[in-house]
Chain A
Amino acid sequence: MNLPKLPLDRWVERAEDWLGYSFAPLFDAIRTVIGELVSALEFVLREPAPWILIVLLAALAWLVAGWRIGVFALIGLLLIDNLGYWDHAMQTLALVLTAALLSIVLGVPLGILCARSAGLRSAITPVLDFMQTMPAFVYLLPAISFFSLGVVPGVIASVIFAIPPTIRLTNLGIRQVPEELVEAADAFGSTPGQKLYKLQLPLALPTIMAGINQTIMLSLSMVVIASMIGAQGVGADVYRAVTQTRTGVGFEAGIAIVILAILLDRVTQRLVRSAKST
């Protein structure tokens, strides 16, 4: 039997064209906002002399996560600077933090809505699965066509890839609040908002923080891929090293990413734990 091939590719492309054409102003606005956000963060991270920022970040890590992580931050960041990757590492950090910020701003409310509505939950779950399993390269392409090259499509792709854990775990955290506590809040006449802010969010916080931690780690894992569409930073250094088969350079840039990853992970994990203990 010789069925004709479904023209799925052409459909997708036509949809892409239509979206790009019809929502051009919207995409422009998004690009401006995200672009500004990244440059603002980059400015903050790159403007001061590296040693000032190194001391500040190490002190912050110490405060949040204890002296071990503080010392690690100091040595790790000094190493990055010493190897000559400071500017690129800060560009990467700006990209990752922007993606994480957007994921939180979008993901937490979405997670709350999911927890409230079984309908929305069942509608959104397959979308989340799709976002996490579809190879990341694939949605780089429409990202480019909507937002052109540069850091913005990199941020968008990172958000798409990294937002699901925040949504899922916010939803989970809220639905894990014991039924009897919700009932008690109702019995005393709480409004839905009071129930959310005074009971559900505080109790869900550790779980939500775990989701945010995962989101940050996932968006960090996107930096090399994002560099393929023009996002600057250590990701781009790795990518260049790969294309030029320069193992040494690749290793140095890779170390810079690992140091950032460990720092972000430890600090946010500590936030999870302190959220749990309150």
Chain B
Amino acid sequence: MPIIEVNELSKIFGPEPRRAIARLDEGWSKEKLAAELGLTVGVNRATFAIESGEIFVIMGLSGSGKSTLVRLLNRLIEPTGGELRFGGEDVLAMNAKQLRRFRRARIGMVFQKFALFPHRTVLQNVEYGLEIQGVERVERRSRALEALELVGLKGWEHHLPAALSGGMQQRVGLARGLANDPDVLLMDEAFSALDPLIRKDMQDELLALQQKMKKTIVFITHDLDEALRIGDRIALMKDGSIVQVGTPEEILMQPANRYVERFVEDVDLSRVLTAAHAMLRPETVTSDRGPRVALELMRERGISSLYVVDKQKKLLGVVTAEQAAAAIRSGAALEAVMHRNPPQVEPDAVLSELFEPLSHSSVPIAVVDPDKRLLGILVRGAVLAALAGSEPRDGAGAMPETDSAPEGDIGTDAPEQPAHLAQESARPSAGEADAIHEEERRS
């Protein structure tokens, strides 16, 4: 069940804002509302659901309503209409006291300009959320110190925020948000005020933290690269409306409309698309088969190497035609001659990291899951094809059904591409075959 459910949530600014909702339903534009009723649409009937444990990025240019939207989620801004449920609970029905309890225990926030309390030390800032809940001094100290250690600021607890650099200040902000151990962390352009290098570090650390703590994170940004880098799913906003919700791949490969298309057209796909996206179905042979079978398979398919797996599809090694032939001559088993540690990557490795290994490897790179099961193989041609956007990028259709698409789903349809294409490019030229020999002699 999603942890946050948002249904037709709207924020209209101006006198008697409620009357605008019906108008919006009638199809009035933002401009018409402003001109005829003097009302400003902040968020226009946003509907989405955030799954527990995901990083959900809300992206849009300035003025698109994303900062308003995130403040609707903890009611720092009171919604004009719609529904908001948190863990099934109706947030909009809460009274002031319930709302305070909700904010204290369940939903933390990190701010663009850090918003640290300048008169309090780093430690006092981090323990603020616990302090106002009446958590006892000793306990809140230790929990605050824990949070500080988590963000790498141990030893800084007695400094004032002003003594820290921007990146460190935002770590304090992050620690403050985490100290309460909330279910959801709202991050409003949390890294936008940092310079690019520090920003990238912080993104990496956030990803690492999230891996460790499994928090649900709602991350607001105007930066597409940032969104694609850290988002499990992205909601793209324009003029207060959500234009598309989807995984980074979906946003890139199936833009819902011209706006999204234009937004993403300059993206460096190699930093977004993953191994899972470009991999092909592997040709394999199980280890109990002899070298003759392997060689026959290769001849049949016109390829020069085969992946050797066990019955559970676990990757054991790779065998080349030459190795198979040698094994037939010497009567050895496949496992004795194969290359035991073939190049391999996990399915979520981005393609930009694969250029280097791809250019050096003479056999296709194996894509394996954490249990070493072979999911697919990567060959140069297919990677280039993926980067060239060979998948249909029509985008003319309706919004993709993002909610139902489990992660990694993208990868599963890649192997359905004709396998011969892969094997074609996998077939080494004479020169490459020599290179294989070369490599084998060296190893």
Residues of A in contact with B (beta carbons under 8 Å apart): 178, 180-181, 183-191, 194, 198-199, 202-203, 278
Q: Is the CB of A191 within 8 A of B100?
A: yes
Interface hits, B5-53 → A, CB 8 Å: none
Given contacts A183-B76, A189-B103, contact A194 B115 (CB under 8 A): no
Residue B219 is within 8 A (CB to CB) of chain A in the complex: no
CB distance from B132 to the nearest CB of A (A): 5
Are B133 and A186 in contact, with the CB atoms below 8 A? no
- B111 engages A189 (CB within 8 Å): no
In the complex the two chains form, what is the Cα distance from A187 to B133 in whole Å? 13
Among the listed B103, B113, B118, which residue makes an inter-chain contact with A188, where contact means beta carbons less than 8 Å apart? B103
B119 & A187 in contact (Cβ 8 Å cutoff): no
Instruction: State A178–B115 Cα separation when bound (angstroms).
Output: 9
Contact B119 A188, beta carbon cutoff 8 Å? no
CB distance from A177 to the nearest CB of B (A): 10
A42 → B minimal CB distance (Å): 37
| Max chain A Cβ within 10 angstroms of own Cβ: one of B99, B100, B180 | B100
Does B317 make an interface contact (CB < 8 A)?
A: no
Distance A278 CA – B180 CA, assembled complex (angstroms): 26
Known contacts A188-B129, A198-B117; 11 additional CB pairs below 8 A are: A180-B113, A184-B111, A187-B74, A188-B104, A188-B176, A189-B100, A189-B129, A194-B132, A198-B132, A202-B119, A278-B119
Q: Contact size class for B?
A: 20 to 34
Contact of B115 among A184, A190, A203 (CB under 8 A): A184
In the assembled complex, B128 has its CB within 8 A of some CB on chain A: yes
Contact status B133-A198, CB under 8 Å: no
Q: Residue B122 at the A interface, CB < 8 A?
A: no
Which residues on A sit within 8 Å (CB–CB) of B104? 188-189
Tell me the complex Cα distance, A199–B186, Å: 22
* Bound Cα distance A199, B111 (Å): 17
Contact B118 A187 (CB under 8 A): no
| A-B CB contact pairs (8 Å), 23 listed | A180-B113, A180-B115, A181-B115, A183-B111, A184-B115, A185-B128, A186-B76, A187-B74, A187-B103, A188-B103, A188-B129, A188-B180, A189-B99, A189-B103, A189-B132, A190-B100, A190-B132, A191-B132, A198-B117, A199-B117, A202-B119, A203-B117, A203-B118
Cα–Cα distance between A188 and B111 once the two chains are bound (Å) = 12
Say yes or no: is B109 at the interface (Cβ < 8 Å to chain A).
yes
Contact B133 A189 (CB under 8 A): yes
Within 8 A of A (CB), among B361-407: none
B184 vs chain A, min Cβ distance (A): 12
**Cβ contacts under 8 Å, A278 to chain B:** 119
Cα(A176)–Cα(B118), bound, Å: 14
- Ordered nearest first, which 7 A-B pairs have the shortest CB separation? A189-B104, A189-B103, A184-B115, A187-B109, A189-B100, A188-B129, A180-B115
**Given contacts A194-B132, A198-B132, is CB(A189)–CB(B115) below 8 Å?**
no
Distance, CA A178 to CA B109, complexed state (A): 17
- Interface assignment of B101: CB less than 8 Å from any CB of chain A: yes
* Cα distance A189–B128 in the bound complex, in angstroms: 10
Bound state CA distance, A180 and B99, in angstroms? 19
Q: Which residues from chain B contact A190 at a C-beta distance below 8 Å?
A: 100, 132
Residues 98-132 of B at the A interface (beta carbon under 8 Å): 99-104, 108-109, 111, 113, 115, 117-119, 128-129, 131-132
A184 to B186, CA, bound (A): 12
Indicate with 1 or 0, residue by residue over B198-236, a CB within 8 angstroms of chain A CB atoms.
000000000000000000000000000000000000000
Closest to A194 in B: B132
Q: How far is the CB of B75 from chain A (nearest CB, A)?
A: 9
Tell me which of A185, A187, A202 has the highest count of chain B C-beta atoms within 10 A of its own C-beta.
A187
* CA distance in complex: A277, B416 (Å): 68
Q: How far is the CA of A67 from the CA of B99 in the complex (A)?
A: 53
Per the bound structure, the CA–CA distance linking A184 and B177 in Å amounts to 10
When the two chains form the complex, which single residue of A178, A184, A203 contacts B119, counting CB atoms closer than 8 Å? A203
Bound state CA distance, A276 and B85, in angstroms?
A: 43
Nearest-CB residue, chain B, relative to A202: B119
Report the Cα distance A278→B117, complex, angstroms: 12
| Complex interface: chain B residues within 8 A of A187 (CB) | 74, 76, 103, 108-109, 186
Are the C-beta atoms of B76 and A198 separated by less than 8 Å?
A: no
List chain B residues, Cβ under 8 A from A189: 99-104, 129, 132-133
B308 to chain A, nearest CB (A): 56
Give A105 to B103 CA distance when docked, in angstroms: 34
User: Which residues of chain A are within 8 angstroms of B176 by Cβ–Cβ distance?
Assistant: 188
Please name all residues of chain A whose beta carbon is closer than 8 Å to the beta carbon of B119 when the two chains form the complex. 202-203, 278
Query: With A and B bound together, what is the CA distance between A190 and B115 in angstroms?
Result: 15
Most buried by A among B104, B132, B176: B132
On chain A, the residues within 8 Å of B102 by CB distance are: 189
* Cα separation A3 to B115 with both chains bound (whole Å): 62
Residue of B nearest to A182 (CB): B115
- A133–B109 Cα distance when bound, in Å, is 47
Chain B min CB distance to A186 (Å):
6
The answer to whether B115 and A188 have CB atoms under 8 Å apart is no
Q: Which B-chain residue is minimally distant from A178 (CB atoms)?
A: B115
Q: Is B115 a contact partner of A183 (Cβ separation < 8 A)? A: yes
Which chain B residues border A191 with CB–CB below 8 Å? Answer: 100, 132
- Point out the residues of chain A lying under 8 angstroms from B76, CB to CB: 183, 186-187
Residues B109 and A184 in contact, CB atoms below 8 Å apart: yes
Q: Mark B168-181, 1 if CB is under 8 A from A, else 0.
A: 00000000100010
> How long is the Cα–Cα vector from A198 to B101 in the complex, in angstroms?
18
> In whole angstroms, how far apart are the Cα atoms of A199 and B128 in the complex?
10
Bound-state Cα–Cα, A183 to B116, Å: 11
What is the CA–CA distance of A188 and B106 in the complex, to the nearest angstrom? 10
Interchain CA distance A184-B109 in the complex, whole Å: 8
Chain A residues, CB < 8 A from B103: 186-189
